[in-house]
Amino acid sequence: MLYLFYHYFHINLFQYITVRAGISFFIGFILTLYLMPRYIRWAQRRKANQPIYKYAPEAHQVKSSTPTMGGIVFIFSTLIASLVTIKFSSLYAMGAILTIILFALIGLKDDLSKIKGGKNEEGLSSRAKMFWQIVAGAFISLYLYQGGFLTDLYIPFYKYPLFDMGIFAIFFWIFVFVATSNAVNLTDGLDGLATVPSIFSIATLSVFVYVMGHAGLSQYLLVPNVKGVGEVTIVATALMGSLIGFLWYNCHPAEIFMGDSGSLTLGGFIAYMAIVTKNEILLILIGFVFVMETVSVILQVGSYKARKKRVFRMAPIHHHFELKGWAENKIIVRFWIMALISNLMALITLKIR
């Protein structure tokens, strides 16, 4: 919408992505701060509380009265902020909006099923959730492929593509969507644990996407230049602003949880940004905390099935540290620190290639 002021009224200020990105950030932030307490009061009246997983540490049972589905508030704020500021003709910005909506719908269905059933186990089954994640990932991947997006595979520290994946890029991108959305979902187990690493990951990928969309910077830093992709920066900053507003209420002790409607959406959006910036492999470093949580679950399940022994006291790994006696806020902050360091390392790869 703001871009139209430039297009029709020649207000040059609104042609710049950086200006519209800044505006989208503050719209998302302020709107979330305004809506969240109202949503919390509504959720408390409706008893839309977070069902606690029966195998979670005993200390988590006190959180059963905490409202959930806060993700729908910051998603709504993100969409409003984005639609006010993006250039609608951008294939990639509209793809980002599409990603947010599709993964939010999956998470919303899961959350509503849990609340209605009163148990964590009443949500979508693992197979059903995986199926819909694959469907959403396939839809967006086909959208990008049909739009002529690059199908080359890039790796960190190397300026040339390894090879062209061709149509197989669709299957690779689907894997990235499913893996990342599940990884963020697994991490969302402590107050603010998934929120801040998500902000760091989106911020890092925002730098990459802005550089890719800028002809001069992309040439200087030896990254592929993709016309129009820079508009995704605006959606990213809208989401970061909304997440910071959400963190105001989600920090320990949390007044609201994001629910699967939030965590699956964040994972899907981070995956989308990694794909459009050709950082699918670097995403392992960008989302290090999410990868660590996922690997801990894989190791735990694999070890128990193969040896009938556990690697950790409980998985995901943040529960392991809880059972070791670490205070919840200490686990959270230390994971935040790891996320910050891994993202700073990822940003270094932008220059070293």
Cβ–Cβ under 8 Å, residues 233 and 86: no
For the cut 60, the answer to whether the pLDDT of residue 4 exceeds it is: no
**Rounded Cα distance, 182 and 196, in Å:** 17
Q: Are 27 and 35 in contact (CB under 8 A)?
A: no
The confidence score (pLDDT) of residue 57 equals 67
DSSP classification of residue 13? G
CA 194-195-199 angle, to 5 degrees, is 115
Distance CA 220, CA 229 (A): 17
Neighbours of 315 (CB within 10 A): 22
pLDDT at 122: 65
CA–CA gap between residue 298 and residue 304 (Å, rounded): 10
Q: What's the rounded Cα separation, in Å, for the pair 275 and 28?
A: 24
The C-alpha atoms of residue 152 and residue 150 are separated, in whole angstroms, by: 6
pTM, to two decimals: 0.94
Q: DSSP states of 156-182 as a string? A: TT-SS-SEE-GGGHHHHHHHHHHHHHH
pLDDT at residue 124, rounded to an integer = 84
Query: How much is the average pLDDT of 127-152?
Result: 96
Tokens 């959720």 correspond to: 43
User: Which amino acid is located at 198 in the chain?
Assistant: S
pLDDT bracket for residue 10 (50, 70, 90): low
User: Which run of H or E residues covers position 152?
Assistant: strand 152-153
The 8-class DSSP code of residue 67 comes to B
For residue 143, the model assigns a pLDDT of 97
The CA-CA-CA angle for residues 109, 114, 115, to 5°, reads 100
Amino acid 7: pLDDT = 57
pLDDT-derived band at 52, boundaries 50, 70, 90:
low
Beta partners for residue 163, in sequence order: 153
How high is the pLDDT of residue 55?
56
Residue-wise pLDDT tens digits, 209-259 = 999 999 999 999 999 999 999 999 999 999 999 999 999 999 988 899 999
Q: State yes or no: pLDDT of 271 exceeds 90.
A: yes
More confident residue, 315 or 243: 243
Output the average pLDDT for the chain: 91
Nearest CA to 282 out of 210, 346, 197 is that of 346
Report pLDDT digits (tens) over 86-117: 999 899 999 999 999 999 999 999 998 888 87
Q: Is the pLDDT of residue 60 over 80?
A: no
